[in-house]
Structure 1
Amino acid sequence: MWALGNYPAVVDEVIAPLGPILVEASGVRAGERVLDVAAGSGNVALPAAAAGADVLATDLTPELLEVGRKQADRAGVRLEWQEADAEALPLADASFDAVLSCVGVMFAPHHQRTADELVRVCRPGGRIGLINWTPEGFIGQLFATMKPYAPPPPPGASPPPLWGSEDHVRTLLGDAVVDVQARRQALPVCRFSSGEELRDFFKAVYGPTIAVFRSLEGDAERTAALDAAIADLARRFTVGAGGSFEMEWEYLLLTALRR
């Protein structure tokens, strides 16, 4: 799914600021061993490496890792890239000073399995840092809007936006962590001029949206209904005055120390 469309365009044109925000909030320092889980094209991995950390970026989608490699080469940033499943990381226990993920691990279907892996590979005293879309924010509501039109999820899968609930993440990490710091923040988004432009952008580049619309091929009525619903949702999340289409996309920023 994540190889559909052009997810790096979403990163570059809309959510690029989130990576540096997570790197700073997690206190990444030069010389530390840092893991970016479900890294995509490296929204967190590249700024962490630029800060002097020894970074490994992992993702299940090799096409995204290849984009990240090229971006790192252009930026003159050195780091490692490895294809890996967030639910079964092929990495040693307690091998990283910081384990980070920015709107990445939330899309692994089995939440507890994924959280257990984040904890396992983080050394005692190390940090876990996460940014995830909240259920109530725009992306969380986008998934809620698409759900009635989407094929059934895999057996045992949990909704991705639950990772944007502080209580849910605290439960997943449990007593393996201490000093949990969580706050909701908003990403300003000024990329779009209308709900229809946003919808068409997501239909062209965002894998989950592309997959849902492909499942509706041949059903013009339901396709039109989802078209209208996404454009209307985008309009409801505008915050700009005087006809501006400025939006705010809410996310949960959570950091914790590994026991």
Structure 2
Amino acid sequence: MTDSTTLGADRALKTKHRAMWALGDYPAVATEIIPELGTALVAECGVRPGDRVLDVAAGSGNAAIPAALAGATVTASDLTPELFEAGRRDAAAAGADLDWQEGDAENLPYDDESFDVVLSCVGVMFAPHHRAAADELVRVTRVGGRIGLLSWTPAGFIGQMFATMKPYAPPPPPGAQPPPLWGDEEHVRALLGDRVTDVSARTVSLRVDGFATGEEFRDFFKAAYGPTIAVYRAIADDPDRVAALDRDLADLARRHDLGGGAMDWEYLLLTARRAT
């Protein structure tokens, strides 16, 4: 494959990813289902007043807004700027001031060592080329600066949701890696390598109790979550497969039900310092 062909394929893939995350209502997922995650990541990174912070794949600002409220100078960067409108509204309501900029996690539009803290809350994990994204995270962090990542684990609920949807989804393009690998500590350590030090990693569970039934969970994600919407669109002309995926997603939620609709969604919380 020639360089021009590779570049064209990458642009097409990024266009597809941008469109996918603009589907549905991801800000509702961020604010109604997982609002605690951004605050947890900001606290883990020790964001302080005056820090220059970059939130990569920021979405509608789940982590960027808490970082700004902590007194940092924050840039929220995302491939899908359609999410910024909701983010700006949330930031204004919270009294947070930050910059919103379109940017590709695999080719960030910032100079080397531009930020004291570079973080991503269930965001960079969806960049298809993990090595390229990790290289960018390190590149834009100053030496001695902090990198913080919060990612769904492969074995946790969201990782299993992606595994459940995989048989129904079109095959990924060559070279694309599964998002939940970012929730595997050894995978992330290998991506960052000896360019970081002081790595701290632990798995944590988020208690989610917003869905009374498996069907309620499924229907919310069918309507609001871009990756789920995209899978359903891919099989829309096959009612049997749609019905099967409907059953599989509802069954997944039922298997994780701890009682009364409560579930624990596991994620990896990893921080490190740039060494070189």
Which category of TM-score, normalised to the shorter sequence, fits these structures?
over 0.9
Distance 1:87 1:212 in 2: 24
Q: Take 1:100 and 1:215, find their aligned partners in 2: how far apart are those partners?
A: 32
Q: Alpha-carbon deviation of 1:155?
A: 2.0
Partner of 2:149, secondary structure, is strand
Match of 1:217 in 2: 236
Q: Does 1:39 align with 2:55?
A: no
Partner of 1:251: 267
The aligned residue for residue 106 of structure 1 is 125
Cα RMSD over matched residues?
A: 0.6
Q: Deviations over 1:9-59 (max 9, x none)?
A: 001111000000000000000011000000000000000000000000000
**1:152 and 2:171 correspond:** yes
Partners of 1:156 and 1:66 in 2: how far apart? 32
Question: Which of 66, 78, 91 is 1:72 aligned to?
Answer: 91
State the shift of 1:69 in Å. Answer: 1.4
Q: Pairwise mapping of residues 21-170 of structure 1 onto structure 2 (< 5 A)?
A: 21-170=40-189
Q: Which amino acid aligns with 1:195?
A: G
Structure (1 or 2) with the greater helix fraction: 2
Identity of aligned residues (%): 69
Between stretches 145-154 and 66-75, larger displacement belongs to 66-75
Q: Distance in 1 between matches of 2:210 and 2:28?
A: 12
1:65-104 Cα shifts (integer Å, max 9, x gaps): 2211121122221111100000000101001000000000
Q: Helix, strand or coil: the match of 1:2?
A: helix
Tell me, which stretches of 5 or more residues in structure 1 are unaligned? Answer: none
Q: CA-to-partner distance for each residue in 1:94-147, whole Å, 9 max, x for gaps?
A: 010000000000000000000000000000000000000000000000000000
Taking the aligned partners of 1:251 and 1:235, their CA distance within structure 2 comes to 19
Query: 2: distance between equivalents of 1:97 and 1:72?
Result: 21
Give, in angstroms, the shift of residue 154 of structure 1.
2.2
Q: Distance in 1 between matches of 2:99 and 2:219?
A: 34
Q: Could you tell me the TM-score, scaled by structure 2's length?
A: 0.92
Aligned letter for 1:247?
Answer: M
Name the SS for the 1:40 alignment partner: coil
Please give the alpha-carbon distance, in whole angstroms, between the structure 2 residues aligned to 1:21 and 1:75: 17
Runs (4+) of structure 1 moved beyond 3 Å? none
